[in-house]
Amino acid sequence: MENLWFMEPYNSITMRFTFDAKSIAELRAIAKGELEAMPSRIQAVLGFIWKRSMAASGMISGSFKPSVLAQDVSLRPRMNSNLMQNSIGNLFCWTHCVTNLTD
């Protein structure tokens, strides 16, 4: 695992953002657009943060850079299982999207 690019020291930034219920509801409505299904709270907030992060990166560098979003989810509260209590999340996925730079 020494060769993984995201394991390099100081190669990542972590931040904590808090959103109130009203802001999340507004983000969900915006993210829904013309879709039939309302996006989840997580999908709406992550989409907002990711979109703004990509825009900021483009403004700083002067060009679009592909990005990756990684999210881990703990399903433990929804399962009846004997999983180790000190393990983090039991679902992990890499997400990608195609963006329109004019959005």
Maximum mean pLDDT: which of 11-15, 32-36, 47-51: 47-51
**pLDDT by residue (tens digit) across 50-86?**
888 888 888 888 887 777 777 767 666 777 666 666 6
User: Whose CA is closest to 101, among 57, 71, 40?
Assistant: 57
Query: What pLDDT was estimated at residue 12?
Result: 65
CATH topology of domain 21-99: Chloramphenicol Acetyltransferase (3.30.559)
Residue spans of the domains in the chain: they are 21-99
The answer to whether the predicted template modeling score (pTM) of the entire model surpasses 0.75 is: no
Give the contacts of 83 (CB within 8 A, at least 6 positions apart). 76, 90
